[in-house]
Structure 1
Amino acid sequence: MKNWKKMLAASLAVTACLGFAPQATEAAYTLNPEVKDATPALKEAAQIGVLKHETPELQNEANKDAIVVMSFGTTFKDTRQKTIDATVDAIKKAHPDVKVVTAFTSHIIIDRIQAKEGIKYPTPEEAMKELKDDGYSRIAIATLDVIPGMEYAYDKAVYDNYKNQFKKMTLGTSLMYWQGQEDQADDVTETINALKSQFPKQGKDDAILIMAHGTPQVSNAYYSVIQAKINEMGLKNVFVYTVEGWPSLETVMPKLKAAGIKHVTLMPMMMVAGDHANNDMAGSDPDSHKSQLEAAGYKVDAYIHGIGENKQIRDLYVKRANDAWDALEADK
């Protein structure tokens, strides 16, 4: 084992005698018997992947289980039905006897949907309070986030703030989490394989630009990993860019010129085809991505569909939800 791996294992692992183990089967860090007294901070640092918490004083409560599916949400009703609702329905189908609640993390979107459609989606906090009041004791949280960025940090904050109120709680991972580290899954390649099922046929003059959201967090680096995996898989002239992060459209455009591209297909790598897809990406304003590319001389098509419309992507989200559920059921 390389030195850095030894150091990582030593810093993250704790002894089995303390009753601590990695928080999910995906987290393959080896327990190190030399660590005799793991501090709470070290234990928390070692929680990677699907998170799991049990509250000792509530262990005598009867099991009453629920799944909470967290999404940012969208005010675009049509795409919401085809993406978020369709994915939640698939999770419900996989767990027919379990209560499944959809919670939106965007409070603004919740208010706008309620005003326009008369539908009230709960915030994650409201969902947790209602489930607690209704006697639910074990909660599996599933997320419809694409990467573990700022929105996923909200999911984890909800988990941290409410886990002690329930007998048991788990938090699943985002669509892309593991990157193929040693002994780990490669969620990124798995997602790209699902995403490429919707790619149009390309000629040598064609490019596909995949629009991601971007995040102010360091997890924005995921987009570099995604691009590296795309290149590694031999997908030619397929580029990732972001609306609110790096790389931007301006970062990618010189690559199009260098490759002699004449035709570009734009498509979002977001759960829904909402405001970013319809306006920032494919809008008619001069500053939209489509307009900028056309002004630069490219022929541009736009694929205005959220990735939640892609069944292969929905299947992956169900898989992530199942991971959270399996962790809830483990050692029942």
Structure 2
Amino acid sequence: MKSIGKSCIMAALTVMAVCTGFVSCSDNDDAESTLNPAEKEVADTKKHDTALLLCTFGSTYNESLSVYDDIISDFKAEFPDVDIYLSFTSRTCINRVEASTGVSRYELDQWLKAIGNAGYKRVAVQSLHVIPGEEYLSLMNTDIKKYFMIQWFPNIDVLRGANLLASDEDTEAVADALYQHYKEKLADKKNIVLLMGHGNPDENYSANGKYSDMQQALQAKAANKNIFVGTVDYGEMLFWPNEVEENPADRITDTQVVRSQYPNCLYSQIMQYCDNEGLAPSDVNVYIAPFMSIAGDHAHNDLWGLEALAEHDNDNYYQNTVELNTNEYSWRERLTKIGFKVDTSFEAHPIGQAGADHGIAEGCGMKPLGSYPEIRRIWVNHLREQWDADAWENGTEYQ
């Protein structure tokens, strides 16, 4: 009996030890799963009492890395006594970027909580968005004001820097930089420059008007008025109007109907330009570029259609397969179908590497807005103006 009792006790202790081990491992796993990965980076970086968080939609493409590096360098030069961090506002980009580029990105709330918990006395937030659209308003009004300032860290002073095209003066400055860059091309009536912006699909956002303002400012500088701005999301400035993917039968196929009823879509505008100048599409060289901070997914796929360029670089494909009236095809593909000569030598992704997954780190010629030092300077100036005006505020003012 004693032997059996001793054995039972030992067995029970063993079971308890094993169970305790399981519970301990489970507790550790739970603790690790709730750790904020941005905490360590902020702790390792913190050298000053003021932090600057640069906020952008984000990208998974390798081409974006050098542009973001340039932007960060500009802000470091202007604000040397500030710790600078970069946040993506797109969770999709965050989830994919590490696998494609090897660079870790964190969600905005993780950055904000890590910065707030690190003991910073002041936090500046600078938007790298182009227009004051949905992403920008959500960032400033919800993430920064509602959560960071009011709910989480009401005693930390905050400074908010505006998006790129915050004023008419900003529009003029960006237009001047772009015009100077394309001035030589625009001097020839047989050249057209097309810029692709993003745009908000909800047409109630007045911010979409920034694209029309930009085109107007550019055409005021270009004597031939041969530069145009379109978008991938904003209805009135799509390449082709009313693109209904769910029901192909509803698509508009009559080009004359499009031109008469939708004169502001990109197709109508460039065809009208050709008519005015007595040019056939085959007479015209088209230069295309992203009107976005970086050359990411839209630049690669919606603008250039690089995967198709790698696989189908032949006239038969464009004439017999590509449709004008569907978003399935890029601007370049549809321009080629119409008969325009899309330039692939001035500023383009190398054709030999057109099929590269998530772009290439070096050698891409696409020139986004963030590649212009004078345009990057506008973002820097927005923050500098607020800084010099001592426009810091905190959440206690809203309690």
Q: TM-score normalised to the size of structure 2?
A: 0.62
Q: Deviations over 1:225-266 (max 9, x none)?
A: 222222333452111100111311131222222222522111
| Native 8 Å contact 2:57 2:90 kept in 1 | yes
Distance 1:271 1:87 in 2: 10
Q: Secondary structure at the match of 2:287?
A: strand
The residue that corresponds to 1:25 in the other structure is none
* % identical equivalent positions: 28
Where do 5+ consecutive residues of structure 2 fail to align? Answer: 1-47, 241-264, 309-321, 323-328, 348-365, 394-399
Distance 1:269 1:224 in 2: 12
The residue that corresponds to 2:193 in the other structure is 208
Distance 2:206 2:196 in 1: 18
The correspondence for 2:289, drawn from 247, 253, 267, is 267
Q: Deviations over 1:205-224 (max 9, x none)?
A: 21111110111233112212
| Native 8 Å contact 2:133 2:207 kept in 1 | yes
- The amino acid across from 1:306 in the alignment is P
The residue that corresponds to 2:206 in the other structure is 218
Q: 4+ residue stretches of structure 1 with deviation over 4 A? A: 327-331
| Native 8 Å contact 1:83 1:307 kept in 2 | no
How many angstroms does 1:140 deviate by? 1.0
How many angstroms does 1:139 deviate by? 1.0
| Native 8 Å contact 1:82 1:308 kept in 2 | no
The correspondence for 2:143, drawn from 137, 145, 158, is 158
Q: Secondary structure at the match of 1:112?
A: helix
CA RMSD of aligned residues (A): 2.1
Where in structure 2 are the equivalents of 1:17-28 lying within 5 Å? Answer: none
The residue that corresponds to 2:339 in the other structure is 297
Q: TM-score normalised to the size of structure 1?
A: 0.73
Question: Do residues 249 (structure 1) and 249 (structure 2) align?
Answer: no
Where in structure 2 are the equivalents of 1:66-215 lying within 5 Å? Answer: 66-77=51-62, 79-156=63-140, 157-160=142-145, 161-164=147-150, 165=153, 166-179=155-168, 186-199=169-182, 200-202=184-186, 203-215=188-200
How many angstroms does 1:127 deviate by? 1.3
Distance 1:316 1:86 in 2: 14
How many angstroms does 1:114 deviate by? 2.5
Q: Deviations over 1:156-182 (max 9, x none)?
A: 122212123143112111110112xxx
Distance 2:392 2:166 in 1: 21
- The amino acid across from 1:274 in the alignment is G
Distance 1:328 1:162, change over 3 A: farther
Distance 1:69 1:292 in 2: 36
| Native 8 Å contact 1:206 1:264 kept in 2 | yes
Where do 5+ consecutive residues of structure 1 fail to align? Answer: 1-62, 180-185
Equivalent pairs counted in the alignment come to 262
Structure 1 or 2: larger helix share?
A: 2
